[in-house]
């Protein structure tokens, strides 16, 4: 019998519900229950791939090529296991499937309705994930906030699931915000109201987790318990922390794990957390901070690059250093708002992934600066492609060299669309997606980082280094040091430079707190070495 934990959110979005889900997942997984996590997104997009990172933050890519909600990244980092595209259910997928069934005649004679057809489809999918993934416990996070119109069918579906699966196999956890207002008071009313909203739909939470700027006191806890219709021991406090990786430890200390085990009738087991505790300690103790430039186009919304930031955090903790990330909007380099002479204080730079022309000139200028100064620079995906363009322009003298994504008529298309991509008409879900095998060339920077070959990393792109230019680029000092089985150039690095490395893949997606990505760790190590020899 699978146990289900449904997690809803109240008061506002971006509360850190994904971190709570990841934390509960870690505690259960570490106490020996095969745990899996699902994110439900009530929007009508079929997947997150067609959304702008400004709207919805990073698109997380799974091993099997799903373009998913960034919460799946939290799940992977906390649970330490791969999610699949199945683990992200959207309203778009649900409606698409219901409408296809309707056209096929599966519901012939019936009036197709939200209840029961859409709700049945939702329940079926949730149960299918539990089965396909072999979960003992499935944690299902309902995205958005209780009270949103588009969330209603999902809440109705999970309400029905409690009846069908039985109360000891299903619990509801509500995560809501208690804001601290300008007088310094912590207000519980928004939490009370969001629980009321939930109860109006027929869902009584079993557990309430309160996000707030500080821990709850006994009075506040009692008040939320009274109005939320739960015993005080069912109210847990999730205060702000310096590191999200502390959240599972805080919730564990409050007794959340044993309470969940009690409610679900699971055997009482303690989790093994010592390595996790060590890691959290490391995030707090560091010798010094390094200044890293983060050059991109969506730098105003930090969630746009969340896996990269987390990958840097994992690597920094292992190296005993702290991070000072300087976010540079690449259009600001072009229009002079960011003065490039300030780059002298930066010790390393990451050229972030992206799409489209806006801001690329600024990135190319920045790459040139770092190439000339000899300081470590790492290009991810689009960042790698622009490194190739920069080298072609400034070392090969091909002045108008470009990627055809940015200039379809360039005389020197050093980066061009992947041939099989050229016949694709539909945009959704059609990039080169998911993990691929990459063979590394020995005696290279990248080989030194992984110390193994082949490696498997995840991709999300349509363009690639144009093989016609490989010879010329290599003569200019740019080595290709990683090749996929399909024959694409996946890693570039520059001779006679401390660390000028571009990777077509996204190593950040596989970085874990206890097992940082070799690329990000190697980059920070290079930053430390370059500073030492300065
Ligand atoms: N726009 C580039 C491409 O499609 C890079 C994509 C990315 O950075 N994820 O190839």
- Residue in 378, 463, 505 to alter for ligand 1 test, most ligand atoms within 8 A of Cβ: 463
Residues 6+ apart with CB under 8 A from 221: 232, 235, 237
Side-chain-side CA neighbours of residue 218 (13 Å): 0
> What residue ranges do the domains of the chain occupy?
3-278, 286-533
Instruction: Give the position, in ligand 1's atom list, of the atom nearest the Cα of 356.
Output: 1
**What pLDDT does 534 receive?**
67
Q: Best of 357, 389, 405 to mutate for ligand 1, by most ligand atoms within 8 A of CB?
A: 405
Question: For residue 232, what pLDDT is reported?
Answer: 96
Q: Tell me, yes or no, if 508 is annotated catalytic.
A: yes
Cα 381 to ligand 1 centroid, rounded to whole Å: 6
- In whole angstroms, what is the distance from residue 249 CA to residue 205 CA? 23
Any residues with Cβ below 6 Å from ligand 1, and which?
Answer: 353-355, 381-382, 405, 460-463
For atom 6 of ligand 1, which residue has the closest CA? Answer: 461
Q: Ligand 1, closest atom to CA 355? A: 1
Exactly one of 74, 314, 318, 506 is catalytic; name it: 506
Output the DSSP codes for 31-91. TT--EEEEEEE-SSSSSGGGS-HHHH-PPEEPTT--EE-THHHHHHHHH-S---GGGEEEH
156 Cα to the center of ligand 1, angstroms: 39
> Are the C-beta atoms of 3 and 130 separated by less than 8 Å?
no
Q: Which atom of ligand 1 is nearest to the CA of 431?
A: 4
Question: CA-CA distance, 412 to 389, in Å (whole number)?
Answer: 9
Q: What is the pLDDT of residue 431?
A: 94
Q: What is the pLDDT of residue 533?
A: 80
Residue 208 to residue 196: CA distance in whole angstroms = 12
Ligand 1 geometric centre to CA of 433 (Å)? 11
- Taken in order 293, 294, 296, 302, is the CA torsion positive or negative? negative
Q: Return all residues near 497 (Cβ < 8 A) that are at least 6 apart.
A: 371, 374
Closest by CA to 246, choosing from 14, 513, 515, 524, is 513
Active-site residue, selected from the candidate residues 58, 381, 457, 490: 381
Q: Which fold has domain 3-278?
A: Rossmann fold (3.40.50)
Q: How far apart are CA 271 and CA 256, in angstroms?
A: 12
CB 135 within 8 A of CB 34: yes
111 is catalytic: no
pTM: 0.95
SS3 192: helix
Among left, alpha and beta (phi > 0; psi -120 to 50; other), residue 107 is alpha
3 state SS of 365: helix
- Tens of pLDDT along the chain (534 residues)? 999 999 999 888 778 999 999 999 999 999 999 999 999 999 999 988 888 776 778 999 999 999 999 999 999 999 999 999 999 999 999 999 999 999 999 999 999 999 999 999 999 999 999 999 999 999 999 999 998 999 999 999 999 999 999 999 999 999 999 999 999 999 999 999 999 999 999 999 999 999 999 999 999 999 999 999 999 999 999 999 999 999 999 999 999 999 999 999 999 999 999 999 999 999 999 989 999 999 998 777 778 999 999 999 999 999 999 999 999 999 999 999 998 888 889 999 999 999 999 999 999 999 999 999 999 999 999 999 999 999 999 999 999 999 999 999 999 999 999 999 999 988 889 999 999 999 999 999 999 999 999 999 999 999 999 999 999 999 999 999 999 999 999 999 999 999 999 999 999 999 999 999 999 999 999 999 998 886
Gap between the Cα atoms of 40 and 125, Å rounded: 10
295: nearest Cα among 270, 319, 330: 330
Q: Is the previous residue joined to 454 through a cis bond, with omega within 30 degrees of 0?
A: yes
Q: How many whole angstroms from 354 Cα to the centroid of ligand 1?
A: 6
Are the folds of 3-278 and 286-533 the same?
A: yes
**Cα radius of gyration rounded to whole Å, the chain:** 25
Nearest residue to 122 via CA among 149, 156, 99, 164: 156
Q: Is 461 a catalytic residue?
A: no
Helix H or strand E segment including 130? helix 119-132
For domain 286-533, give the CATH number: 3.40.50.880
Distance 258 CA to ligand 1 centre (A): 45
């Amino acid at each position: 019998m699978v146990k289900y934990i449904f997690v809803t959110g109240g008061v506002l979005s971006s509360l850190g519900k994904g971190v709570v889900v990841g934390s509960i997942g870690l505690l259960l997984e570490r106490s020996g229950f095969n745990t899996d996590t699902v994110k439900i997104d009530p929007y009508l997009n079929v997947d997150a791939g067609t959304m702008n990172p400004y709207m919805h933050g990073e698109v997380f890519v799974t091993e099997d090529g799903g373009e998913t909600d960034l919460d799946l990244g939290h799940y992977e980092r906390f649970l330490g296991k791969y999610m699949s595209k199945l683990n992200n259910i959207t309203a778009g997928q649900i409606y698409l499937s219901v409408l296809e069934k309707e056209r096929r005649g599966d519901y012939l004679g019936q009036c197709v309705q939200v209840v029961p057809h859409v709700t049945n489809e939702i329940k079926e999918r949730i149960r299918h994930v539990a089965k396909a993934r072999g979960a003992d416990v499935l944690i299902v996070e309902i995205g958005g906030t209780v009270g949103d119109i588009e969330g209603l069918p999902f809440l109705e579906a999970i309400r029905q699931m409690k009846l069908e699966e039985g109360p000891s196999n299903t619990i509801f956890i509500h995560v809501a915000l208690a804001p601290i207002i300008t007088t310094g008071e912590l207000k519980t009313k928004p939490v009370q109201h969001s629980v009321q909203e939930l109860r109006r739909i027929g869902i009584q939470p079993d557990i309430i987790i309160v996000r707030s700027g500080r821990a709850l006191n006994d009075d506040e806890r009692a008040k939320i318990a009274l109005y939320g219709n739960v015993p005080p021991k069912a109210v847990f406090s999730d205060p702000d922390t310096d590191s999200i990786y502390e959240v599972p430890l805080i919730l564990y200390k409050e007794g959340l794990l044993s309470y969940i085990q009690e409610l679900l009738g699971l055997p009482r087991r303690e989790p093994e957390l010592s390595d996790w505790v060590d890691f959290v300690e490391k995030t707090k103790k560091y010798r010094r901070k390094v200044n890293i430039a983060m050059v991109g186009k969506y730098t105003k919304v930090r969630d746009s690059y969340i896996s990269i930031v987390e990958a840097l955090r994992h690597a920094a903790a292992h190296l005993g250093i702290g991070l000072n990330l300087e976010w540079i909007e690449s259009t600001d380099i072009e229009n002079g708002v960011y003065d490039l002479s300030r780059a002298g204080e930066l010790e390393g730079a990451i050229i972030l992934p992206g799409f489209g022309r806006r801001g690329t000139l600024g990135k190319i200028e920045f790459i040139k600066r770092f190439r000339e100064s000899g300081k470590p620079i790492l290009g991810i995906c689009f960042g790698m492609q622009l490194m190739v363009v920069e080298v072609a322009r400034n070392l090969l003298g091909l002045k108008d060299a470009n990627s055809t994504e940015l200039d379809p008529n360039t005389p020197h298309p050093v980066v061009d669309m992947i041939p099989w991509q050229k016949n694709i008409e539909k945009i959704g879900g059609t990039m080169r997606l998911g993990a691929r095998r990459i063979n590394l060339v020995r005696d290279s920077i990248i080989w030194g980082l992984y110390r193994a070959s082949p490696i498997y990393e995840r991709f999300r792109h349509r363009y690639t280094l144009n093989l016609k230019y490989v010879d010329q680029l290599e003569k200019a000092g740019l080595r290709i040091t990683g090749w996929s089985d399909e024959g694409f150039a996946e890693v570039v690095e520059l001779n006679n430079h401390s660390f000028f490395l571009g990777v077509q893949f996204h190593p950040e997606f596989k970085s874990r707190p206890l097992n940082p990505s070799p690329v990000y760790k190697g980059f920070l190590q290079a930053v430390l070495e370059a500073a030492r020899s300065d």
